[in-house]
Amino acid sequence: MTVESTAARKPRRSAGSKAGTTGTERTTRTTARKAAEPELVQLLTPEGKRVKNAKNAEYAKYVAGVTPEELRGLYRDMVLTRRFDAEATALQRQGELGLWASLLGQEAAQIGSGRALRDDDYVFPTYREHGVAWCRGVDPTNLLGMFRGVNNGGWDPNGNNFHLYTIVIGSQTLHATGYAMGVAKDGADSAVIAYFGDGASSQGDVAESFTFSAVYNAPVVFFCQNNQWAISEPTEKQTRVPLYQRAQGYGFPGVRVDGNDVLACLAVTRWALERARDGEGPTLVEAYTYRMGAHTTSDDPTKYRADEEREAWEAKDPILRLRRHLEASNHTDEGFFAELEAESEALGRRVREAVRAMPDPDRFAIFENVYADGHALVDEERAQFAAYQASFATESDSGFAAGSGGN
Amino acid sequence: MAETVTSKNLALAKAINESLRRALEADPKVLIMGEDVGKLGGVFRVTDGLQKDFGESRVIDTPLAESGIVGTAIGLALRGYRPVVEIQFDGFVFPAYDQIVTQLAKMHARSLGKVKLPVVVRIPYGGGIGAVEHHSESPEALFAHVSGLKIVSPSNASDAYWMMQQAIQSDDPVIFFEPKRRYWDKGEVNPEAIPGPLHKAQVVREGTDLTLVAYGPMVKLCQEVAAAAAEEGKNLEVLDLRSVSPLDFDAIQASVEKTRRLVVVHEAPVFFGSGAEIAARITERCFYHLEAPVLRVGGYHAPYPPARLEEEYLPGLDRVLDAVDRALAY
């Protein structure tokens, strides 16, 4: 293992960073990077205790009225999203999917922000926003088509105001900005949210989207999940300053939120969306979280990061912390967890069966939808392809080799 | 309103301006975006007066960021708008190339037809105006290679007017290459005419001995070549392609079956240029009709040269006539 590049990232007091210690992990990390890492907005500690202080009050008011039922809803969303994600990883291992990009560890960032949205808001995701898709009501099985290789995006973006996954890093932040410019032109009070990651923060398109959104005061929330790793490159390879501070240079606010705290993510996103609706323009939210799994199923994190780091973040698990809070607050009973477990398994089963039943597309799909209004060359090549295919039938039927019918 | 005037003599740039004006009047979803397109009216004045009449929310001066211009235009199109964006010069399109190739061109297919992106990207292109580096290039082949895009280039004022109307109405993204050295050439424009299809080539001079194929700025040159050749008793046909993608091979084929010889002329480098594609396809289609190999006249495999050398680099009357002679010599 290469240790040179990762040594600086190891928690300094690894002995004290096992699960169960009292909030020392974040402290550990903060200590290690005292100058660089500021406090983040946190409403639930890793132990599930509500944080109440003056600094958080501005955001806490956005979840002041959250009911036990809503908390259970957030918990359910996170558990089911994780179950779906685990099933997809397994399906990749079984050869049913070509690739999977796991969101493990980022459930709170995605569910918290996703549940802050209204139906008329519009989401521009990366390729890892499975939890946000869940919040938007996109059937999880629809997300899997592109990873199985049967399409490049299998849902109607306008069906749930959830754009197709964008694979080129950062491109969608400009689409979100343009869409938000259109919302403003229409005089609507909808908001737009653009998801991206710490790696994407280096892309020119992200910088340009900050510029455009600021200049036109576009109602867009830039939601950066800083999961610490862009495949093998730590955030230090992307930035010298905490990412949320970049907003300042563009003239709009940025805030760092505990990305493993679903309540804080909900609150901060509601705040940012409200700003957008009120005509106050863009906001950058940096959800400070951790990619617990590999970049994708093709990746091998053991080559570039230490186990201790992951262990430290496990103690801050987003689902575990809300469960602790729910239990300590007597908001749940055993029946709730048992029912959710059954629902989880049913979801896993449904996803598994749906993927296995997913047919390969018709070979002529190659030529479909290349253009909206058609194109002579596509028509010509489709015809040649059809003739070529037909030539095999002729060969087997008659015993004669047919002409290729084209090139 | 433009419709009340039957026919006008307009410079090509003014014809585009009037076409944009008509589109802005006809459809509130049409937007103009680009650098300096507002008060200045664009560096070539193609958008002159439009912001004054339609306001800053419809004729939008953008930050100097081409990827941002095209990327936000995509977002606006997703919201239901029909943006017409200006890239100030051909050589400045490359920061936007990623958005054009990976997003604009592919969104319709990616969405299985559920998302349409009616975006027009206007690019003043080509040389001959004595400009500095990056202001004289012809990158159309770099876009023609990308499925999902349509690529057109008018050669005259009337086509510029009507092709712009049709490009804005298209539900596909259109890269609209404007021959900047012809911006000031005047021609008749009849706003009440019924235009032909956007992607059909047009025979602009009939002939029997050889076919010259061109588009955009080279059409006028090829007409001059044909006139010069006529003085020598050679009867050349000139075909204005108008559209590079799709490309009207049927029209070229019909012409070549008659003339049996073909010379393709464009400013872009010959190597892997549109002339190469035309030569290959026409050889396939017209193998038994051709009396000579398809010849190409275009730019060299070298950076566009400093202005003092551009006349050496660009196809001119003599270079095209030389190719005509070579083709006729077979």
Please tell me the predicted confidence (pLDDT) of residue A54: 87
Backbone angles phi, psi at B294, to 5 degrees: -70, 125
With left for phi above 0 and alpha for psi between -120 and 50, is residue B164 left, alpha or beta?
alpha
Cα dihedral: A345, A349, A352, A354 (round 10): -130
Q: Is A382 exposed, middle or buried (0-12, 13-18, 19+ CB in 10 A)?
A: middle
Query: What's the mean pLDDT when you consider all of chain A?
Result: 90
The shortest CB-CB distance from B110 to any of A164, A371, A378 is to A164
The shortest CB-CB distance from B113 to any of A181, A369, A376 is to A369
With left for phi above 0 and alpha for psi between -120 and 50, is residue B101 left, alpha or beta?
alpha
Question: Rounded CA gap, A27 and B318, in Å?
Answer: 77
Please tell me the predicted confidence (pLDDT) of residue A89: 98
CB-CB neighbours of B305 under 10 Å: 17
Task: Identify whether B246 is preceded by a cis peptide bond (ω within 30 of 0).
Answer: yes
Output the pTM of the full model.
0.93
Name the strand (E) or helix (H) holding B60: strand B59-61
Does A59 participate in catalysis according to the annotation? no
Q: Buried b vs exposed e over A6-33: b needs ≥16 C-beta within 10 Å?
A: beebbbeeeeebeeebeebbbebbeeee
Series of mean pLDDT values for 10-residue runs along chain B (330 residues): 73 98 98 98 98 98 98 98 98 98 98 98 98 98 98 98 98 98 98 96 98 98 98 98 98 98 98 98 98 98 98 98 97
Q: Is residue A30 scored above 90 in pLDDT?
A: no
Contact status of B243 with chain A (Cβ, < 8 Å): no
Between chains, do A153 and B248 touch, taking CB under 8 Å as contact? no
Q: Categorize the per-residue pLDDT at A9 as very low, low, confident or very high, splitting at 50, 70 and 90.
A: very low
Q: Is residue A45 scored above 70 in pLDDT?
A: yes
Between chains, do A164 and B116 touch, taking CB under 8 Å as contact? no
Contact status of B148 with chain A (Cβ, < 8 Å): yes
Query: Do β-strands B186-189 and A122-124 pair in parallel, antiparallel, or remain unpaired?
Result: unpaired
Question: Rounded CA gap, A129 and A89, in Å?
Answer: 15
CB-CB neighbours of A277 under 10 Å: 16
Question: Rounded CA gap, A113 and A193, in Å?
Answer: 9
Name the strand (E) or helix (H) holding B237: strand B236-240
Please tell me the predicted confidence (pLDDT) of residue A330: 94
Question: CATH fold of A4-357, please?
Answer: Rossmann fold (3.40.50)
Contact status of B99 with chain A (Cβ, < 8 Å): yes
The CATH number of the structural domain formed by B202-328 is: 3.40.50.920
Chain A residues whose CB is inside 8 A of the B57 CB are 185
Please tell me the predicted confidence (pLDDT) of residue B116: 98
Name the strand (E) or helix (H) holding A131: helix A130-136
Name the strand (E) or helix (H) holding B297: strand B295-299
Backbone angles phi, psi at B178, to 5 degrees: -100, 125
Can you tell me the ipTM of this complex? Answer: 0.96
* CA atoms in the 13 A half-sphere facing the CB of A181: 34
Q: Is residue A32 scored above 50 in pLDDT?
A: no
Name the strand (E) or helix (H) holding A343: helix A334-357
Contact status of A186 with chain B (Cβ, < 8 Å): yes
Contact status of A183 with chain B (Cβ, < 8 Å): yes
* Domain spans of chain B, in order of start: 9-189, 202-328
Please tell me the predicted confidence (pLDDT) of residue B196: 95
Q: State how far residue A302 is from chain B, nearest Cα, in angstroms.
A: 32
Top CATH class of B9-189 equals alpha beta
Between chains, do A182 and B81 touch, taking CB under 8 Å as contact? yes
Q: Categorize the per-residue pLDDT at A393 as very low, low, confident or very high, splitting at 50, 70 and 90.
A: confident
- Bridge partners (DSSP) listed for residue A254: A284
Q: State how far residue B327 is from chain A, nearest Cα, in angstroms.
A: 27
- Those residues whose C-beta lies under 8 Å from the C-beta of residue A398, and which sit 6 or more positions away, are none
Q: Is A323 exposed, middle or buried (0-12, 13-18, 19+ CB in 10 A)?
A: middle
Q: Are B266 and B278 in contact (CB under 8 A)?
A: no
pLDDT in tens, A230-242: 999 999 999 999 9
Give the C-alpha distances (Å, rounded to integers) separating B80 from A101, A180, B75, B83, B99: 31, 12, 9, 9, 18
Does A122 participate in catalysis according to the annotation? no
Contact status of A375 with chain B (Cβ, < 8 Å): yes
Please tell me the predicted confidence (pLDDT) of residue A37: 60
Question: Rounded CA gap, A300 and A379, in Å?
Answer: 43
pLDDT in tens, A78-102: 999 999 999 999 999 999 999 999 9
Q: Are A134 and A153 in contact (CB under 8 A)?
A: no
pLDDT in tens, A295-319: 999 999 999 999 999 999 999 999 9
Q: Is A226 helix (H, G, I), strand (E, B) or coil?
A: strand
Please tell me the predicted confidence (pLDDT) of residue A402: 42
Distance in angstroms between the alpha carbons of the first and the last residue of chain B: 55
- List helix spans (H) across chain B: 12-26, 50-54, 66-78, 94-98, 107-110, 140-144, 157-169, 218-231, 249-259, 274-285, 310-313, 317-328
Please tell me the predicted confidence (pLDDT) of residue A33: 44
Q: Is residue A23 scored above 90 in pLDDT?
A: no
The shortest CB-CB distance from B98 to any of A156, A168, A173 is to A168
Domains B9-189 and B202-328 share a fold: yes
Please tell me the predicted confidence (pLDDT) of residue A154: 82
Chain B residues whose CB is inside 8 A of the A164 CB are 107, 110-111, 115
